[in-house]
Amino acid sequence: IRANAIAILTVAWILGTFYYLWQDNKPQSSPSSSASQTRGRGHGQKVVPGRLEIHRDDRTIPLIVSDLAMQTFQGQLLGSFDEKAYLAAKQLKPGDDPYREHAFNLQESDRLVQVLSASLTYDTDLPSTSIIITFHNEARSTLLRTIKSVLMRSPPSLIHEIILIDDFSSDPDDCQLLAQIPKVRCLRNSRREGLIRSRVRGANTASASILTFLDSHCEVNTDWLQPMIQRVKEDHTRVVSPIIDVISLDNFAYLAASADLRGGFDWSLHFKWEQIPIEQKMARSDPTQPIRTPVIAGGIFVMDKSWFNHLGQYDTHMDIWGGENFELSFRVWMCGGSLEILPCSRVGHVFRKRHPYDFPEGNALTYIKNTRRAAEVWMDEYKQYYYSARPSAQGKAFGSIADRLALRRKLNCKPFRWYMENVYPELRVPEQEAVSSVLKQGGLCLETRGTDGLGLAECRGLGANRPQAQRWELIEPLIRQQDLCLAISAFTAGSKVKMELCNTKEPRQKWKPKGTALQHMVSGLCLDSQTPAGPPVISQCRPQMASQSWEPQVIT
Binding site for ligand UD2 (CB under 6 A): 134-136, 138, 167, 192, 194-195, 198, 215-216, 244, 297-300, 320-322, 324-325, 349, 355, 357
Q: How far is the CB of 294 from Mn ion (least distance, A)?
A: 21
Q: How far is the CB of 249 from Mn ion (least distance, A)?
A: 11
Smaller CB distance to ligand UD2: residue 24 or 358? 358
Partner from Mn ion, ligand UD2, none contacting 325, C-beta within 5 to 8 A by type: ligand UD2
Q: How many residues bind Mn ion (CB under 5 A)?
A: 1
Contact region with Mn ion (CB under 5 A), list: 181-189, 212-220, 353-361, 369-377: 212-220
Binding of Mn ion at residue 324 (CB under 5 A)? no
What one-character DSSP code corresponds to residue 514? E
Contact region with Mn ion (CB under 5 A), list: 48-56, 160-168, 200-208, 210-218: 210-218
For the range 516-521, what are the long-range contacts, defined as Cβ-Cβ under 8 Å and sequence gap of 24 or more? 516/548, 516/549, 516/550, 516/551, 517/541, 517/543, 517/545, 517/548, 517/549, 517/550, 518/439, 518/479, 518/550, 520/488, 521/477
Q: How far is the CB of 375 from Mn ion (least distance, A)?
A: 23
Rounded distance between C-alpha atoms, residue 93 and residue 541, angstroms: 81
In the chain the first and final C-alpha atoms are separated, in Å, by 51
Q: How far is the CB of 383 from ligand UD2 (least distance, A)?
A: 20
Q: How far is the CB of 376 from ligand UD2 (least distance, A)?
A: 18
Rounded distance between C-alpha atoms, residue 259 and residue 275, angstroms: 9
Contact region with Mn ion (CB under 5 A), list: 112-120, 122-130, 173-181, 209-217: 209-217
Partner from Mn ion, ligand UD2, none contacting 195, C-beta within 5 to 8 A by type: ligand UD2
Binding of Mn ion at residue 167 (CB under 5 A)? no
Smaller CB distance to ligand UD2: residue 66 or 134? 134
Contact region with Mn ion (CB under 5 A), list: 69-77, 122-130, 138-146, 214-222: 214-222
Rounded distance between C-alpha atoms, residue 19 and residue 2, angstroms: 26
Is beta strand 497-501 parallel, antiparallel or unpaired with respect to 301-304? unpaired
What one-character DSSP code corresponds to residue 294? S
| Type and span of the H or E element at 254 | strand 254-255
Q: How far is CA 74 from CA 77, 111, 121, 160, 543, in A?
A: 5, 17, 18, 19, 79
The H-assigned helical ranges of 379-486 are: 383-389, 402-410, 416-422
Binding of Mn ion at residue 215 (CB under 5 A)? yes
Rounded distance between C-alpha atoms, residue 228 and residue 236, angstroms: 11
Partner from ligand UD2, Mn ion, none contacting 525, C-beta within 5 to 8 A by type: none
Nearest 5°: the CA angle 488, 493, 498 is: 20
Q: How far is the CB of 218 from Mn ion (least distance, A)?
A: 8
Q: How far is the CB of 418 from ligand UD2 (least distance, A)?
A: 24
Q: Which residues bind Mn ion (CB under 5 A)?
A: 215
